[in-house]
Structure formats: structure tokens, C-alpha cells
Copies of this chain bind each other. A is one copy, B any other.
Amino acid sequence: MADVLILHPGEMGSSIGQALVYKGHRPLWISEGRSESTRSRARKSSMYSHETLEAGLADVEIVISVCPPEYAIDVADQVLELGFDGLYCDANAIAPTTARVIAEKFGDSYVDGGIIGPPLYRHGTTRLYVSGNSATRMVKLFAGSALDTRLVEGDSVAASALKMCYAAYTKGTSAMLLAIRSLAQAHGISSALRSEWELSQPRLWDRSEGSGPGTTRKAWRFAPEMREISKTFEDAGLPAGFHEAAADVYERMAFLKDSEPVSTHKITKILRKD
């Protein structure tokens, strides 16, 4: 079984590592420079560790990059600089043009990936979409695991394009909802909006109530993802403002990274900087 290096195991990455452990693989992580929470998560997932990236790369055929989108190119460069010549899968939420920069570095060893769904606590919740000439190797790697891995038809960065389109709606509308709740509060009409939504937009108030707590601790990483999405729209000649605004919303919440989940009511005040 191929050994796999995951850079770097956050919640999603460590759950993917766990899925590989169950399949009999020996996923690795690199401990050097990682936070205590990353170390703790990686240990719990039964992944193996190497201290340095150099030692880790010497031991594996496949690298999967799962990191905040703004680090995707840096992580790729670090791997390349150490002479790695195995398969490199970038599974981050990045614009197709960003993915293409990485794809060009790795050539046919590049697999473009996009993850849709939550960390893998059980089968069936989460898909890894892959594209590019070597994408079937990733499908084989995860075959029978909890991570439903699917080829996307299209060009070599089609998986990133799909991820951008998908997150554009889910995370984009969550940010919009929070901004609307904040606007309603600014005008003192929250209860009228709630009544109207309950009449004509079933479940929307409840969804907005969930958006605050649900994004509190993720907003810091949603913000750069929204920037990648706005770049994707702009690159295609489409309006970029939806996701520039969404990035702005999440940036205003980014300081809540280590907070307990915060109610939408409180988030609406934070967004207006009351």
C-alpha cells in the first residue's frame, strides 16, 4: 500500500488520514512547526509522524495538500524544493488559476482536488473530486474508504472549479444572511423580517440563526476561500463582488477563531462594529 503524506492535518486532513488508516495505508504527517492542536489531532487519527518534511517526503509516493487556501502555493513550493517526484494532490479551496500555477510546477504528477462536505466522521458525507491526467490514482487510493472520490470531467483544474462553484453558494449565502441579519438589526426590524421570512421563506430564519454559531470558528479560513472564489468569478469575466463582500463578512469574524460558537445576534453586532 502506498504511503501518503498529508500536509497539514487539520480537522479535514486528519479525518482523511484516519480513512486511509482504516484502508491499511500508513498516512504520515510532519510535526515540525505544527501547533499543539494539530499534533493532538494527528495523534488521535493514528497517523504516523516524521519531524521534517524532507524525511516525510523520502518515505511516501503521494502527497495530499489540505491547508488554508492562502498557503497552497507555499506548501507546493516547499515540496518541490525538496525534489519530490511522486504524485501531488492539491485538495484546497483555490481558484482554478491558482491551481494551474501549482499544476504547472508538477506537470503530470499533479492531481487537482476539491473536497465537498464536512470532515469524515462517517461514510457518505464527503466527496473528494479530482481532475487531471493522474486523477484515477487518487480514485484508486481512496476506493472503499469513507472518502467518496470522484473524477470530474473537464480540464486539469476542473475539480477546483467545482469546489469554487459549490462553496460560492453555501458559504456565500451564509455570509449574505449574516449581513442581512445585521442590516435588519441596524434598522430595528429583526422581528418583522423574522415574521415575513417565516411566512414566505420557510427555514430561512432558522438557517440564519445557525449561520453565526456555525461559522464562528471557521470564518478566519472562509475569508481567504471567498477571495479565491471572487478571483474565480473575475477570471471568468463575471461579477466578483458577491464573494468580496463575503470575504469582508468573514474577516470581521476572523478574530473569533478560538472562541466558543457565537450567536447570530451577537455576530450581527460584531459585523457592524458596534
Residues of A within 8 A of B (CB): 96, 116-117, 127, 129, 152-155, 158, 161-162, 164-166, 168-170, 172-173, 176-177, 179-180, 182-184, 186-189, 191-193, 196-197, 199-201, 204, 232-233, 236-242, 244-246, 248-249, 271-273
How far is B197's CA from A204's CA once the two chains are assembled, in angstroms? Answer: 18
Contact of A166 among B96, B173, B196 (CB under 8 A): B196
How far is the CB of A34 from the nearest CB of chain B, in Å? 31
Contact of A176 among B162, B186, B242 (CB under 8 A): B242
Establish whether residues A236 and B182, one from each chain, have CB atoms under 8 Å apart when the complex forms: yes
Q: Provide the residues of chain B in CB contact with A248, threshold 8 Å.
A: 239, 241
Q: Contacts A192-B152, A192-B158; is A176 near B169 (CB within 8 Å)?
A: yes
Establish whether residues A154 and B188, one from each chain, have CB atoms under 8 Å apart when the complex forms: yes
Q: Provide the residues of chain B in CB contact with A96, threshold 8 Å.
A: 187
Establish whether residues A162 and B189, one from each chain, have CB atoms under 8 Å apart when the complex forms: yes
Establish whether residues A273 and B237, one from each chain, have CB atoms under 8 Å apart when the complex forms: yes
Establish whether residues B183 and A129, one from each chain, have CB atoms under 8 Å apart when the complex forms: no
Establish whether residues B153 and A192, one from each chain, have CB atoms under 8 Å apart when the complex forms: yes
Establish whether residues A196 and B232, one from each chain, have CB atoms under 8 Å apart when the complex forms: no
Q: Provide the residues of chain B in CB contact with A237, threshold 8 Å.
A: 186, 272-273
How far is B161's CA from A188's CA once the two chains are assembled, in angstroms? Answer: 9
Q: Please provide the 3 A-B residue pairs with the shortest distance between their CB atoms, ordered closest to farther.
A: A241-B245, A241-B241, A161-B187
Q: Provide the residues of chain B in CB contact with A168, threshold 8 Å.
A: 176, 179-180, 183
Establish whether residues A246 and B236, one from each chain, have CB atoms under 8 Å apart when the complex forms: no
Q: Provide the residues of chain B in CB contact with A246, threshold 8 Å.
A: 239, 242
How far is B179's CA from A173's CA once the two chains are assembled, in angstroms? Answer: 13
Establish whether residues A154 and B187, one from each chain, have CB atoms under 8 Å apart when the complex forms: yes
Contacts beyond the supplied A153-B192, A161-B187: 7 A-B pairs with Cβ under 8 Å: A116-B196, A153-B188, A153-B189, A168-B179, A169-B204, A187-B236, A237-B273
